[in-house]
Chains A and B, each alone.
Chain A
Amino acid sequence: MEELKTYFSKLLLALLVFNPLLPTVKGQGNCLIYDENSGERIACELSYRAVTYKQGSKASQILFDAAIDIGPGYAWAYYEKSVPYFKRGLLKQGVELLNKAIAIDPESYLCYRAYWYFSHRSYEACISDLERYYYSLNGPPRSTPGGDMEMKMLLGLTYAQKGNLIKAIELVSTAIDSYEAQGYFVGPFDFHVLGILHYENNQLTKAFTAFEQQIKSNENFADTYYYMGLIQRAQSNDEAATKLLEKSLSLFNGVNGGFTFNSFLDWNVSKSDVEKKL
Chain B
Amino acid sequence: MKPNGHLLLVALVAWGCQGNINETDSKETYSHDIGDIPFDRTVDDPSFKLCDSTKIVTRRKALAYKGDRSKIVSACLKRFTFKPEFESFNGYVTIRFIVNCQNQAGRFRAESLDWNFSHKACPESLKKHVIEIIQNLEGWSHAYSQDTHLDLVKFINFKIVNGRIENVLQ
Q: Which residue of B lies closest to A85 (CB)?
A: B34
Residues of A within 8 A of B159 (CB): 120-121
The answer on a CB contact under 8 Å between A69 and B11 is: no
Partner of B58, one of A11, A56, A122: A56
Binary flags per residue of B82-97, CB closer than 8 Å to A gives 1, else 0: 0000000000101010
Quote the shortest CB–CB distance from A210 to chain B (angstroms). Answer: 25
User: What number of residue pairs across chains A and B have CB atoms under 8 A from each other?
Assistant: 139
The answer to whether A22 and B19 touch (CB under 8 A), given A61-B34, A70-B7, A270-B70, is no
Residue in A53, A65, A125 whose beta carbon sits within 8 Å of that of B116 in the complex: A125
Of chain A, the residue at the smallest CB distance from B156 is A89
How many chain A residues sit at the interface, stated as a range, is 35 or more
What are the residues of chain B within 8 A of A63 when measuring CB–CB? 10, 13
Q: CA–CA, A84 to B31, complex, Å?
A: 13
B14 and A57 contact, CB distance less than 8 A: no
Chain B residues touching A, majority SS: mixed
Contact A65-B6, Cβ < 8 Å, known A19-B15, A92-B113: yes
- Contacting pair B33 A91 (CB below 8 A): no
Q: Is the CB of A88 within 8 A of B35?
A: yes
The interface on chain B, measured as residues whose beta carbon lies within 8 A of the other chain's beta carbons, has a size of 47
B38 within 8 A of A: no
CB-based nearest B residue for A15 = B14
- Shortest CB-to-CB span from B99 to chain A, Å, is 13
Q: Are the CB atoms of A59 and B116 closer together than 8 Å? A: no
Task: Using known A-B contacts A56-B35, A85-B34, A91-B157, determine if residue A66 contacts B15 with beta carbons closer than 8 Å.
Answer: no
Q: Does B1 contact A (CB under 8 A)?
A: yes
Shortest CB-to-CB span from B82 to chain A, Å, is 19
Is the pair B94, A57 in contact by a Cβ cutoff of 8 Å? Answer: no
Contact of A143 with B by CB under 8 A: no
Contact assessment for A15 and B11 in the assembled complex, using a CB-CB cutoff below 8 Å: yes
Provided the pairs A4-B4, A66-B10 are in contact, do residues A59 and B19 lie with their beta carbons within 8 angstroms?
yes
Chain B neighbourhood of A181, CB < 8 A? none
A67-107 interface with B by 8 A CB criterion: 69-70, 84-85, 87-95
Q: How far does the alpha carbon of A59 sit from the alpha carbon of B96 in the complex, in Å? A: 23
A62, B6: Cβ atoms under 8 Å?
A: yes
Which residue in chain B gives the minimum CB-CB distance to A46?
A: B10
Residue-wise, chain B 76-110 has the 8 Å CB interface mask toward A (1 for contact) of 00000000000000001010100000000000000
B residues neighboring A (CB under 8 Å): 1, 3-4, 6-7, 9-11, 13-19, 21, 23, 30-35, 58, 60, 67-68, 70, 92, 94, 96, 111, 113, 115-119, 153-157, 159, 166-167, 169
Q: Given A89-B156, A271-B68, list of 10 further CB < 8 A pairs? A: A4-B1, A19-B14, A21-B15, A56-B33, A58-B21, A84-B34, A89-B155, A92-B117, A116-B117, A121-B169
